[in-house]
Structure 1
Amino acid sequence: MKKRSDWSVEQSSEQSKEQSSGRNDELTVESLMGLGGQSARKSHYPELTGKIEELEQERNRYKSIFEHAQHGIFQARIDNGLIAVNPAMASICGYSNPEQLCQQVHSFDTDLLFDTAEYTLLLDKLRLYGKLFGYETRLLRSDSSAVDISMNVLLKSDEQGEIIEAFVQDITERKKAQDKLKKLNEELESRVNVRTRELVSLNQQLVQEITERSSIEKELKVARDAAQQANRSKDKYLAAASHDLLQPLNAARLLVSTLRERELEADNNHLVDRVHLALEGAEELLSDLLDISRLDQNAVKPDLTCIPLSYIFTALQVEFQPVAEQTDVELRLVDCQLNVESDTRLLMRLLRNFLSNAFRYTPQGRVLLGARRQKNKVSLQVWDTGPGIPEDRLSDIFREFQQLDHRHQSGRKGVGLGLAIVERIAGMLDHPIDVFSVPGKGTMFSVTVPLASTAVTPVLAPQLAVPQQDLSGRRILVIDNEESILVSMKALLEQWDCKVCLAQSADQAIENWLASGEAPELILADYHLDQGTTGVEAIEQLRAFSDTDIPAAIITAERSQESRNQFRELQLPVLNKPVKPGKLRALISHLLQA
């Protein structure tokens, strides 16, 4: 049985426990949940436990991020050392763990920043803005070296003072790349400067060269102009000299032709033939020189028209058939009914030179003129059975004064201008020429001409056989301002039993006409007469006087395109000086028949 005093003690003890327990219950509810009573504490306990676990998990997650972050993270007091750092921060500063870094850094400005003077500037910026992003500086490493970093900094405050929280990135490699890039830029700028100086120097040299070249070009231009002027003067002189020489040459040819038609002693006939050949050579040389001069001056303008090849072939056959009959060479022409577009006179001159060369270098055998169609063009070809041309000489034969071995030539010797004229004419007409030769067998010259659909009928068609018409008593008026020409024409025409009337102008011709009382049946007039008048004007004056279209022809050394166009428009036949007697008689016979 307990004593009263013991019970009292126990009772007071229990009361004390209950009072103490009650006070504890009251503090827990108020401090944690704000609720009172045992039942309330039991109902919120699971929720409280869950919240505590979430907080613990969140704390662990942030701790893991903090410890395993790739960038450095630190927290430090402005007036003291580091509060917390992560392993990445320790690695950046060259320490093995965060504890070593915290122990080493006692003051942020002196133990962490490499440049202590920068601390004041950094602190002023933080206090002004509260935070800094991408702030670049250098930190002090454990080996006293510097490491370049970029950090985002926040300035906070607590009960103990100001705190710096920062995220740090090591930018050493970036700095190295920047330094390398800067160095490369400097090197590049240096190279650019060097290259610029070189280019400036080269430009100065180029300007100097251009200036010198411009000066040289001016001098060359002056020299070229002088050469061209001299060439034009030479060509004009040559043309004038050739024209003036053709006049006496024409008179001499007419006189020699008159003598050849007379019955002379054998020795005299031989001498006359030699003179005839010499004059013929001089005539051809002068004609070639005149043509070369006019072609080089671009004084010849092509008059393109549609031409029947039959006309050209027939005209060439009439011209070269007598040449073939005087030699052992057969002339063959392949009949062709095609029409071509070209200049009649120039194309005939080109083919005439081909044929002349063929006869000159073919002592015996055959010369063929034919045409071969090639789609919308036709190749006019001259073949011969002469000695041929060596392959290494094919490019030389078109140069001036270039000839093959004279041993292969027959008849009169040329001077080597025929094919040079051919090349110039072909270039002017844009008619390609070609040559093919087999030494010992023969040669082929060709010119390619475009085809035409229709053709213009020539005023005077050539005849294969020119009848030797009896000209006895036919009244022919000759007008020329050269006395020697009048004498030569009179001798030749009287050799053909013509009744010849001579005059140096239209007025003189009318006076002679009235004096004789007989009108001329035919007028042969030179183109250039005295006092600036022309044979065309003289013919028109005489026709007007007689009120009759008296047949007429122009005999001239003038070869300009303008005069030829005028003769064509007036339908006046033309014979160029020096006149060949055969052509003159054929023309007279044709006009008198008409």
Structure 2
Amino acid sequence: MKKHSDPRPGGYDVDDLLGLGSQSVRKNYYPELQERVEELEAERNRYKWLFENALHGIFQGDLKGGFLALNPAMASLCGYVSPEDLRKRVRRLREQLFYTIGEFDGLRQEMLDFGRVIARETRLRRADGEPVDVAITLLRRPDLGAEVVEAFVLDITDRVDARKRLEQLNTELEQRVDERTQALKAANEGLRHQIAEREKVEQELVIAVEAAKEANRSKDKYLAAASHDLLQPLNAARLLVSTLQDSRLPDKDAHMVERVHRALESTEDLLADLLDISKLDQQAMKPDLVYVDVGELVTALGEEFEPVARDAGIGFRVRSRAATVHTDPRMLSRILRNLLSNAFRYTDAGRVLLAMRPRRSSLTIEIWDTGIGIAEDKLQDIFAEFHQLSPHNASGKRGVGLGLAIVERMARVLASPVDVRSVPGKGSRFTLTLPLVDWDVGLSSRAVEPAVAAVTDSLQDALVVVIDNEPDILASMRALLERWGCRVVCGTGADSVLRSGVGFDRVPDAILADFHLDDGRTGCEAIYALRRHFHADIPAAIVTADRSDQSRRLFQTQYLPVLNKPVKPNRLRALLTSLLSSPVAAE
């Protein structure tokens, strides 16, 4: 290429970069050529303007030397004040422009092999010696020299910085993921340890629950056995005391007998309450739901408590009506009996009312008293075990605090809620609500009459067989029944009664048999044996300390009434009178 008249450093100028030589100007004496030259000049000026004002760096250089031409953007990119400054100070592209010689050598080899390099990232050295990240595109110009190239350079500092930040973020994210993974692994290890510990605790809990259940079963068995063994002598003592009460004794002795009677009665009630509360807590007491005439049940309770009211000098009224409910009569009687006992216990003077009141679809049984009353903050405490109000009725017997606890639990079993309203110093009202089946609006309001008299006369000369394996109970029963005018034949079983051969000038009028006899035999078997022997359906009842639901259901299936020990004389007399009113049917 011919040198220009105004040579520049390196021997090339922009005319050479654009492919124009000075010799073309000398031919301006040809008109057509002149026009073409002008067009080329204009085109050259346009390319020159683009070259000078381009935003990206553009240069022409020799890979073995330095720059041949470059634009201002290239100088600015490398931190120089002008293209001339850059071209003067950078004489060797390999050592002075490229930041890493190895990268330059790689680009040079690729250029020689393929003739061009398209968009490769590298780093150039700035004027201050710091690197600048660029994307460079090289095009080989063998027409201008063996290793002459034209290059387009794009500053990618922002892109590289963004990529570095992204890589840093990725690294930090990976680190956080690793940390979270390690934390998760540690948490999983801890969770596995907790699960193992929980499984161990659950296994221990299962073992403890089974042990507790076994302890409860053992407790129930112990209570049942202990209660039977305790109630037997108490029963004998009660019957003997009742016999003494019916005897003519000096006032001092009669008073002592009465105190013994009350002590025995309190002991019996405590044992019965303990057994019932244990069965209720173990959910072992199941209701036998039947249709019950509540009017008759309330009337019977009124007759039962009339002597209590009379002895305490307290007015007692009963308002009953015909009404039918579907419930367990035994539990219902126990609830009302406990509520009435509490009413009399905490009433020194005044009156007690037992009333039935119909509602739309239910029947309420209310017990009113004019006793000491209950404070508002104590209304719920009274249903807790062994909770007693104070002061006690000095003339009545002291309770043990289980009566209302039994009421609350039995009422819950029967789905019959109990409500209480009370005013301290004025009295209380307990209300039991029962779902109503049918009721008669005919109301009978009356004071309770004394219990039916002449019961003793109805027992005169009655032939009664008593079977029990406890000699003391046999002696006590004989003494009490003979005082009532009965003829009594006692024995420890059916064979024992028949071997005695005493008093059997006719078929017995009634049989009273203990359930658990010697040698694993039962009172039911003894009753059937005597009925077969006499060829008659002799009225009979079971007298037992066994209060289990299983035994009670057995007695129901055998149509045998049952009286629980310890026997209260008035209930025994009522039962015996009921049996004697049933005619003996021959088989």
- State the TM bucket, normalised to the shorter chain: 0.7 to 0.9
CA contact (8 A) 1:148 1:175 kept: no
Alpha-carbon distance in structure 1 between the residues aligned to 2:258 and 2:76: 125
Query: Which of 294, 314, 321 is equivalent to 1:329?
Result: 314
Alpha-carbon distance in structure 1 between the residues aligned to 2:48 and 2:300: 118
Alpha-carbon distance in structure 2 between the residues aligned to 1:102 and 1:361: 122
Aligned partner of 2:469 in structure 1 is: 481
Aligned partner of 1:257 in structure 2 is: 242
Count of equivalent residues: 543
Percent identity (aligned): 45
- Measured against aligned partners, the alpha-carbon deviations of 1:332-378 in whole angstroms (never above 9, x if no partner) come to 45546665555443343233222222211111233344567898777
Alpha-carbon distance in structure 1 between the residues aligned to 2:508 and 2:52: 136
Aligned partner of 1:414 in structure 2 is: 399
Query: Which of 85, 107, 122 is equivalent to 2:92?
Result: 107
Query: Which of 128, 140, 148 is equivalent to 1:156?
Result: 140
Q: 1:582 to 1:393 in 2, by over 3 A?
A: same
User: RMSD of aligned C-alpha atoms?
Assistant: 4.4
Alpha-carbon distance in structure 2 between the residues aligned to 1:376 and 1:164: 108
1:246 aligns to 2:231 (yes or no): yes
Q: 1:499 to 1:224 in 2, by over 3 A?
A: same
Q: 1:245: Cα distance to partner?
A: 1.7
Alpha-carbon distance in structure 2 between the residues aligned to 1:343 and 1:401: 25
Alpha-carbon distance in structure 2 between the residues aligned to 1:468 and 1:566: 33
1:508 aligns to 2:496 (yes or no): yes
TM-score, normalised to structure 1, is: 0.76
Alpha-carbon distance in structure 1 between the residues aligned to 2:370 and 2:48: 114
Q: 1:553: Cα distance to partner?
A: 1.1
Aligned partner of 1:170 in structure 2 is: 156
Alpha-carbon distance in structure 2 between the residues aligned to 1:114 and 1:67: 26
- Measured against aligned partners, the alpha-carbon deviations of 1:500-527 in whole angstroms (never above 9, x if no partner) come to 2222212233445697231112211111
Aligned partner of 1:521 in structure 2 is: 509
Larger Rg: 1
Q: How does 1:195-344 map to 2 (within 5 A)?
A: 196=182, 200=186, 233=218, 235-304=220-289, 307=292, 309-310=294-295, 312-333=297-318, 335=320, 342-344=327-329
CA contact (8 A) 1:361 1:410 kept: no
Alpha-carbon distance in structure 2 between the residues aligned to 1:375 and 1:98: 111
Query: Which of 127, 146, 154 is equivalent to 2:131?
Result: 146
1:582 aligns to 2:570 (yes or no): yes
CA contact (8 A) 1:506 1:539 kept: yes
1:356 aligns to 2:344 (yes or no): no
Show structure 2 runs of 5+ residues with no match.
1-26, 440-447, 583-587
1:384 aligns to 2:384 (yes or no): no
Show structure 1 runs of 5+ residues with no match.
1-23, 33-44, 456-462
Alpha-carbon distance in structure 1 between the residues aligned to 2:523 and 2:383: 37
Residue identity opposite 2:569 in structure 1: P
The 3-state SS of whatever aligns with 2:386 is: coil
CA contact (8 A) 1:239 1:293 kept: no
Q: 1:82 to 1:546 in 2, by over 3 A?
A: farther
CA contact (8 A) 1:75 1:166 kept: no
Alpha-carbon distance in structure 2 between the residues aligned to 1:68 and 1:407: 114
Query: Which of 58, 67, 72 is equivalent to 2:53?
Result: 67
TM-score, normalised to structure 2, is: 0.76
The farther-off stretch of 306-315 and 550-559 is: 306-315
Q: How does 1:434-513 map to 2 (within 5 A)?
A: 434-446=419-431, 451=435, 466=452, 468-469=454-455, 470-512=458-500
Q: 1:266 to 1:100 in 2, by over 3 A?
A: same
Alpha-carbon distance in structure 1 between the residues aligned to 2:548 and 2:165: 85
Alpha-carbon distance in structure 2 between the residues aligned to 1:532 and 1:226: 30
Residue identity opposite 1:189 in structure 2: Q
